[in-house]
Homo-oligomer: A and B are copies of this chain.
Amino acid sequence: MAHHPEPASSSLLASATSKKEWYGLLLESATGLCDGEPNHIANCANLSSLFYQAYLEQANPSRINWFGFYLVDRTKTNELVLGPFQGKVACIRIPFGKGVCGTACSEMKTQVVPDVHAFPGHIACDSVSESEVVVPVVDRQGRLVGVLDVDSPLKNNFDEEDVSALEALAEIVGKASEWP
């Protein structure tokens, strides 16, 4: 077994009495999973799993259909390349400035999109996606290293509490990992 704490169990998460508490438990698990592990791929992979599987257990069908990371490709200029994720097969490359992910990079700002079909230049990777949040991920030096991308099959799925939690997660992985 690995040198990391057990993630928050289904029963522990199910015991949360508010969305705030639920996210609190998840973020505590996220911090634990990355503790002492600098590998950014392993961290992005496990955190995608932690959150995607938690949403899946919370509701069926899940209110999240894609959860993962795009990473800045250092071999290219201003381009994201697909990183670890859970959900259906996705677009591989996204230039900065294009779609919701690319806009998060060019503006260095979280994008909350209640209706992706109304977003100019939206890149439809999974046709069931209706709303989306994209959070820039920066490293300890404040350098952009990727984005956290979360899609929902429901319009207007993300409220302020969701967005705050996703921003906290992006900060955890950004600071915990070493990035190329």
Contact = CB atoms under 8 A, between A and B. Distances in A.
Given A89-B46, A92-B46, A71 B2 contact: no
A163 interface: no
Contact of A81 (B41, B85, B93): B41
Nearest to A36: B92
A88 B48 CA distance: 9
A143 interface: no
B124 A1 contact: yes
Contact of A49 (B7, B42, B87): B87
A89 B46 CA distance: 5
Chain A contact-residue range equals 20 to 34
Interface string A20-46: 000000000000010001010110011
A154 interface: no
A117 interface: no
Interface in A1-29: 1-4, 7
A42 B83 contact: yes
